[in-house]
Amino acid sequence: MRFTDRLLAAEKRADSLLCVGLDPEPSKFPGAWKGDAGRIFDFCARIVDATKDLVLAYKPQIAYFAAHRAEGQLEELMAYIKRNAPEVPIILDAKRGDIGATAELYAREAFERYQADAVTLSPYMGFDSLEPWLRWDGRGLFLLCRTSNPGGSDLQAQALADGGLLYEHVAKLAAGDWNRNGQVGLVVGATFPAEIERVRALAPTLPLLIPGVGAQGGDAAATVRAGWRAAAGSATGPIVVNSSRAVLYASSGDDFASAARAVADTTRRALNAAR
């Protein structure tokens, strides 16, 4: 099954556009777990248990594990999600961007070691930085296109000789020559709804991973209006709207999992209402 088809199936099953980002920060853990990096798996597993029927996908950010020497806990978490929520795709947020043998090894890390269903990549070394990843049949590749950080404009909003902008060029390539096996999607920040709409127009069939709703200030309704398929059954690609901190740290008490569920459900309902 293509990754896009897995997303569509998950969207239908959970009636959800919401992706929960798993960005564990031990300093924000509740109660006796606070500051204990040995509890990263436990914390994330509790979040998964509380939200797995509400989400379209999970997005663990690899740096939050690696910085605490917790790659083993990430492996354990990925396997846990596969066992306990097998219908929920997992997007490994790694933002890799290299070529040749190095890219091949990064792909093995993401898809073999961590069992990810998709990964985030930087496309700025061109197609040969993507080609090793495309060999993994059925896996998804989300390319950075128009990111939610203000500094993204330093490069992504630069005008090209033909009058277009760099992020628009990336969207065109991703929807065209680069998408050889139907595996490619794009990352577009929720803080730029006009750009989401522009990317959707340039790449109508690609999945869009949209971070920035919640703590980063992205507006859920504006995000959906900009990127959602206009009519049921249309060919427009799915959207994956990510919220991390607002869900994970909804409470600093022992009720953190139930609080995370409540915020996730509220966000899911807000996204659905905008469809």
Residues with active-site annotation? 95
Cα–Cα distance between 173 and 199 in angstroms, integer?
11
Tokens of 151: 């500094």
The residue assigned the tokens 């953190």 is: 256
Cβ neighbours of residue 233 under 8 Å, at least 6 residues apart? none
The residue assigned the tokens 């999600």 is: 81
Contact between 247 and 264 (Cβ < 8 Å): yes
What DSSP string describes 188-245?
E-TT-HHHHHHHHHHSTTS-EEE--BSTT-B-HHHHHHHHS-SSTT-SPPPEEEEE-H
Residue 60 CB-density burial (10 A; 0-12 exposed, 13-18 middle, 19+ buried):
buried
Tokens of 156: 């992504």
Cα–Cα distance between 26 and 264 in angstroms, integer?
20
